[in-house]
Amino acid sequence: MFFNIKTNRMILWTILFLGGTALAFFGTYKISQELTKEDAKKQSHLIPDFLLLDCEVESKFDNKFRDEILTFCKSKINVPGGNVEDLDSIPLSVFFDENLFKENKLAKKNYKLQKDVYEDIRSFDFFGMASSKDSSIIINLKKNSNKVIFSTYNSDIKDSYIEVRTYNTKTNLFKLIFNNIQLDINSKSISQFITDLDNENIKFSLITKQNIEIVELKKVVLKTKSIKYFGLNGINKDSLGMYNAKLNLLLK
């Protein structure tokens, strides 16, 4: 009887030991598997040659520049049963669609503004730097010299383009959308992986002509042609005019 009890206990302890070992092995295997997946995911996202910038820009134009645009546009806008002066938000997209002007000579004749308007809005620069706390990754960003066109929104457009959507009569602000603005990357980093910038800081300047003041930047995204990498959180502007923000990895 005693022998049987002792034998049963040994068998039980052996089973428990083997079960615990198996569970530990399985747990280690799962963790290792997850780490392998993370490493593979990370290594598939090397620092690219350039990123593309998307953002929404609330802008204030100086009085002369604003009036040059609005005087022309208001005379061309027809509000059925109403008056353009009564609108809180004046639509402007049709006056800023170079693709439409190419396709339709009449549209170009009726809606195209003076050349200086387009040149002033698209004459901007972007300079930025993003780095990790341990400086294992540092990238400098600079707007490419490629020409930026004007268009209404079109997801098929791969070029850098600006939408000029509306003028808000109450806030005196123009709503601009920047799409696919190419930012060349200069990187001197130990790390080769763009994903290492997750939750790190970025500092940047968006410099416009003197007659255009940026009031607010929203919905800022850094991406490639196929992948959205980062959204910018907590954007604020310091006394020197530099923007500071946190990079939030959108890649899941």
Same domain, 35 and 154: no
pLDDT in the model for residue 191: 85
Q: What's the structural domain count of the chain?
A: 2
State the pTM of this model: 0.83
* CA separation for the pair 141, 118 (Å, rounded): 24
Count of alpha carbons within 13 angstroms of residue 156, beta-carbon side: 1
pLDDT in the model for residue 58: 97
Same domain, 67 and 4: no
Same domain, 231 and 150: yes
- Is pLDDT above 90 for 167? yes
Same domain, 32 and 55: no
Nearest to 220 by CA among 233, 236, 201: 233
Same domain, 34 and 69: no
Structure tokens at 206: 């968006």
* CA separation for the pair 217, 7 (Å, rounded): 75
Same domain, 34 and 151: no
Same domain, 110 and 153: yes
**How much is the average pLDDT of 194-222?**
95
pLDDT band for position 29 (50/70/90)?
very low
pLDDT in the model for residue 135: 87
* CA separation for the pair 59, 54 (Å, rounded): 16
Same domain, 11 and 111: no
4 or 51: which carries more pLDDT confidence?
51
**How much is the average pLDDT of 109-131?**
96
Same domain, 17 and 72: no
The residue range of the domain holding 8 is 1-44
Same domain, 200 and 143: yes
Same domain, 85 and 149: yes
